[in-house]
Amino acid sequence: MVDAHTHLDACGAKTAEDVRAMLDRAEAAGVSRVVTVADDLAAARWAAEAATWDDRVYAAVALHPTRTSDFSDADRAELAELAARPRVVAVGETGLDYYWDYAPRDAQQEAFRWHIELAKRVGKPLMIHDRDAHADVLAALDAEGAPEKVVFHCFSGDLDFARACVERGFVLSFAGPVTFRNSSALREAAAWVPSGQLLVETDAPFLTPHPFRGRPNEPYCVNYTLRELATLRHVELIILANEVTRTAENVFGIGA
């Protein structure tokens, strides 16, 4: 499988040896590749470099919406250079976050539009962070024209929002919250998403799936989310594992 969204640096990895050890643990659990995702410039530099240390690691770079209150031309130029690197397979995570007030909404929206354009310019998927901003995220994508491939990381909507995303051809990636029994609307959406538009992720070290909720997360834990998705979708685990692996390979352009 592929963990479609993780943060190896936030999990504690600093060196090539750290990354290798973390990926060895993941591979022992059947997770053969990961996309490590940046949320600021320092993380973007690290992710792009870490993706050259181990063939099992790919990177995504962007400025997280909560960090966009000060987004300079120099920042944009550096992100554009990083996004063009061959081991960087997506522009993300970018989008809108109305839960926190760390950045004004107008700054978030302007930065989001810039990232949409960047993804189209470099020809790579756009990886969306959407928290309490469903309508505005879709409005921005519709207004700017979405890139060919769009991934809603840690999808948090209900069935109606899932339908709106799927109708636009977007891919929905599910993390630990789909294993929580009180996430009924999210679980309903996950059961419905068509094959080929479904990914699985950890968002490690955050959002650890049941039964380890509240403990540190790592890419190997994606197994627990996949198992819950297989139950919700009434499919055999191996079939779903193969499906989400093919989807990840197609979305991110990574080989088997």
Question: How far is it, in rounded angstroms, from Cα 88 to Cα 4?
Answer: 13
Contact status, residue 137 vs residue 120, Cβ threshold 8 Å: no
Instruction: Please check if 153 is assigned to a binding site.
Output: yes
Is 129 among the annotated ligand-binding positions? Answer: yes
- Closest C-alpha among 197, 172, 200, 177 to residue 187: 177
Cα torsion angle, 115, 116, 119, 125, sign? positive
Residue 134 CB contacts under 8 Å (≥ 6 apart), including other chains: 157, 161
Per the annotation, does 5 bind a ligand? yes
Who contacts 104 (Cβ-Cβ below 8 Å, separation ≥6)?
69
Q: Where are the beta strands (DSSP E) in 100-243?
A: 126-131, 150-152, 171-174, 198-200
Does the annotation place 203 within a ligand binding site? yes
Is residue 66 within 8 Å of residue 102, measured between CB atoms?
yes
Does 110 show up as a binding residue in the annotation? no
Detail the residues annotated as belonging to a binding site: 5, 7, 93, 129, 153, 203
Detail the residues annotated as belonging to a binding site for a divalent metal cation: 5, 7, 93, 129, 153, 203
